[in-house]
Amino acid sequence: MVSMKPVILIPTYNESIAIVELLHSLTTLHNSRDFDVLVLDDNSPDRTADIVDNLNLSWVRVLRRPGKAGLGAAYRAGFAEVLQLNNYTHVITMDADGSHRVDDLPAMMDAPHSSDISITLGARWIKGGSVVNWPLSRQLLSRAGTAYARIALRIPLHDITGGFRIYSVALLKKLNLSQMTATGYCFQIEMAMASDLAGASQCEVPITFVERVNGVSKMSKAIVVEALWQTTLWGLSRALKPNADKLHYVKSE
């Protein structure tokens, strides 16, 4: 098997304190695992991008974007950037705010797959997974969101809204990434659905999700409404024209 060379994409908006802590933890892992990091910053007013650049880590780069355009747009730009570099076997996605623990990464990187076209998902809502310091209301929202997406989209996963993932580059190359439209967190749902349509090998690895300590949440009512509305539309479209949906998201051979 070809050895793994991942790049970790970390979207940031005003994460100047949290990103330094995260890169500190990743530096320890970097002693035993080979990977690069690309921070996707939307011109954060707190100068997140400059602060990252000033750390002068040779394996960390910042993609500077003009302004806040949502998580989905930042990830799409990151995918485009790393795919054209053609240096990597896998793309890892990870929040900057400390909710996704570096400690969980090795198990995710070692997840077994039956195909080169693969997605590994960090999962909170499976045996061994957990959340720390999340209010019950947030836990219920996340569980209900996943349950709804699971039923509406018929995806056999237990955590569809989480953003801690590893996509193989072979999978990303199979997807019509320019057809992804979600701007907010439902980008995660859209990517899970597209990966399922592409027939990817799916592996869920239990993670411990820790509520952010530094910085401010970007979660809003508009983001929840977008996710609910989009999931309903995608579910209807999958039920009515499953093949059209596949053609939309997956490149023909």
User: Which one of Mg ion, ligand GTP, none is in contact with 15 (Cβ closer than 5 to 8 A by kind)?
Assistant: ligand GTP
Amino acid at 183: T
- Toward ligand GTP, which CB reaches closer, 150 or 218? 218
Strands 6-12 and 90-93: parallel
- Toward ligand GTP, which CB reaches closer, 192 or 198? 192
Nearest to 94 by CA among 160, 188, 164: 164
Evaluate whether 12 touches 19 at the Cβ level (below 8 Å): yes
Evaluate whether 10 touches 40 at the Cβ level (below 8 Å): yes
Residue 14 interacting with Mg ion (CB under 5 A): no
Q: 179-197: buried (b, 16+ CB within 10 Å) or exposed (e) per residue?
A: ebebbbbbbbbbbbbbbbb
C-beta of 10: minimal distance to Mg ion in Å? 12
User: Which one of Mg ion, ligand GTP, none is in contact with 120 (Cβ closer than 5 to 8 A by kind)?
Assistant: none
Residue whose token pair is 């959340």: 131
Nearest residue to ligand GTP on Cβ basis? 217
Nearest to 8 by CA among 129, 164, 155, 153: 164
Residue 48 interacting with Mg ion (CB under 5 A): no
- Toward Mg ion, which CB reaches closer, 99 or 202? 99
- Toward Mg ion, which CB reaches closer, 116 or 211? 211
Give the total of residues touching Mg ion (CB under 5 A).
Answer: 4
- Toward Mg ion, which CB reaches closer, 97 or 190? 97
191's tokens = 């990517």
Report the SS3 class of residue 231. Answer: helix
80-109 residues in contact with Mg ion (CB under 5 A) are 95, 97, 99
CA distance 226 to 74: 17
Residue 226 interacting with Mg ion (CB under 5 A): no
Residues at the interface with ligand GTP (CB under 6 A): 11-13, 15, 40-42, 68-71, 74, 95-97, 99, 185, 212, 217-219
Which chain residues interact with Mg ion by CB under 5 A?
Answer: 95, 97, 99, 212
